[in-house]
């Protein structure tokens, strides 16, 4: 019998974190799963840390460095499970995570994406719980409108979700041409054809953000992400998709402001309908770039929750 879940873990230079990640998966109360770890050409001791585990459910694949999308796609194609569950090599699950997903699948079959509530870990003592626009605090069921309810925190996060394997055959895999938003692009494609099921009653996954509040990361965004221009025809007929896309455009413009890329900043601003933004977002886009850098430096130093910035109008 094939496993119910295939747990997919892309691995690239995460020797400090991968053991804790694997332990959190192996400690799941729901045990019908395989673990596919894909070593994407790590240059540290990540692979050696994986090999310390002797559980037969762990399958290690080695490849030359191909990037995150190729790595996840290769794992999906190699997998034997019915549902693909994802976790990155520095994140963790609580022991009930797969059980919660399994119960959602049982109660709400034949949907395109299943996800639980997640929290963002900023330090060992500071966590920011995901908040979903327009949904009650203890929501459990089919999400009425993925794009509407993702205008604060996104309903889906890759480390909290699972996707039926056949869905990838119908909507496509992670897009290798997208550098850092391949998960958002996939959510859009899925939710244009299927529904998402969400359980907010318990937090079951922890998104480790302790190491990425770093100003240097903003220099990596050197082009307008492909997905921001991919759904303009669909946006014309879907106001909440349009608002969701403008929220992502806003975030990308902030990256360009922080990196000082004024040409791409000006180009992308032309695509934003400012009526889709709140007054704080609008103000940030109008502020001089040095002041935006200062504000975001303060936010990162103090580990502030940016929730109020993305609170919808």
What tens digit of pLDDT does each residue of 3-55 get?
A: 999 999 999 999 999 999 999 999 999 999 999 999 999 999 999 999 999 99
Q: Within this chain, do residues 251 and 192 fall inside the same structural domain, yes or no?
A: no
Sign for the CA dihedral angle at 74, 75, 79, 81 comes to negative
pLDDT the model gives residue 62:
97
Q: Give CA–CA dist 259/7, Å, rounded.
A: 35
Q: Which domain holds residue 231?
A: 215-310
Q: Within this chain, do residues 284 and 301 fall inside the same structural domain, yes or no?
A: yes
pLDDT the model gives residue 213:
46
Q: Within this chain, do residues 135 and 53 fall inside the same structural domain, yes or no?
A: yes
Q: Within this chain, do residues 193 and 250 fall inside the same structural domain, yes or no?
A: no
Q: Within this chain, do residues 111 and 171 fall inside the same structural domain, yes or no?
A: yes
What is the domain-level CATH number for residue 38?
A: 3.90.550.10
Q: Within this chain, do residues 180 and 149 fall inside the same structural domain, yes or no?
A: yes
- Check pLDDT > 70 for residue 224: yes
Do 208 and 183 contact (CB within 8 A), yes or no? Answer: no
Do 65 and 35 contact (CB within 8 A), yes or no? Answer: no
Number of separate domains in the chain: 2
Residues in the chain: 313
Q: Within this chain, do residues 223 and 203 fall inside the same structural domain, yes or no?
A: no
Q: Within this chain, do residues 61 and 160 fall inside the same structural domain, yes or no?
A: yes
Report how far apart, in Å, the C-alpha atoms of 15 and of each of 39, 90, 92, 211 are: 11, 9, 14, 14
Instruction: Among 208, 241, 257, identify where a domain stops.
Output: 208
Q: Within this chain, do residues 160 and 192 fall inside the same structural domain, yes or no?
A: yes
Q: Give CA–CA dist 152/132, Å, rounded.
A: 6
Instruction: Among 208, 238, 269, identify where a domain stops.
Output: 208
Do 72 and 174 contact (CB within 8 A), yes or no? Answer: yes
Q: Within this chain, do residues 176 and 220 fall inside the same structural domain, yes or no?
A: no
Mean pLDDT of the chain: 92
What tens digit of pLDDT does each residue of 163-209 get?
A: 999 999 999 999 999 888 999 999 999 999 999 999 999 999 999 88
């Amino acid at each position: 019998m094939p496993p119910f879940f295939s747990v997919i873990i892309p691995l690239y230079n995460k020797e400090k974190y991968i053991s804790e990640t694997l332990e959190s998966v192996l400690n799941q109360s729901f045990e019908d799963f395989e673990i596919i770890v894909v070593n994407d050409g790590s240059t540290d001791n990540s692979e050696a840390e994986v090999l310390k585990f002797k559980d037969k459910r762990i399958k290690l694949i080695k490849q030359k460095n191909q990037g995150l999308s190729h790595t996840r796609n290769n794992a999906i194609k190699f997998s034997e499970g019915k549902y693909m569950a994802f976790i990155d090599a520095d994140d963790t699950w609580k022991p009930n995570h797969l059980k919660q997903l399994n119960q959602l699948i049982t109660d709400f079959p034949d949907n395109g994406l299943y996800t639980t509530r997640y929290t963002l870990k900023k330090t060992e003592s500071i966590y920011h719980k995901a908040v979903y626009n327009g949904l009650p605090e203890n929501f459990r069921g089919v999400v009425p409108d993925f794009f509407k309810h993702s205008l604060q925190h996104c309903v889906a996060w890759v480390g909290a979700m699972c996707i039926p394997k056949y869905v990838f055959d119908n909507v496509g895999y992670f897009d290798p041409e997208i550098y850092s938003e391949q998960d958002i692009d996939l959510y859009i494609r899925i939710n244009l054809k299927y529904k998402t099921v969400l359980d907010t009653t318990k937090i079951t996954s922890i998104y480790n953000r302790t190491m990425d509040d770093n100003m240097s990361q903003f220099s990596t965004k050197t082009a307008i992400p492909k997905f921001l221009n991919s759904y303009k025809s669909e946006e014309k007929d879907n106001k909440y998709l349009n608002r969701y896309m403008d929220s992502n455009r806003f975030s990308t413009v902030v990256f360009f402001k922080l990196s000082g890329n004024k040409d791409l900043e000006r180009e992308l601003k032309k695509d934003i309908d400012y009526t889709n933004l709140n007054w704080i977002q609008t103000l940030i886009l109008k502020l001089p770039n040095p002041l935006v850098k200062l504000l975001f430096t303060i936010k990162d130093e103090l580990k502030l929750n940016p929730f109020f910035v993305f609170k919808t109008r």
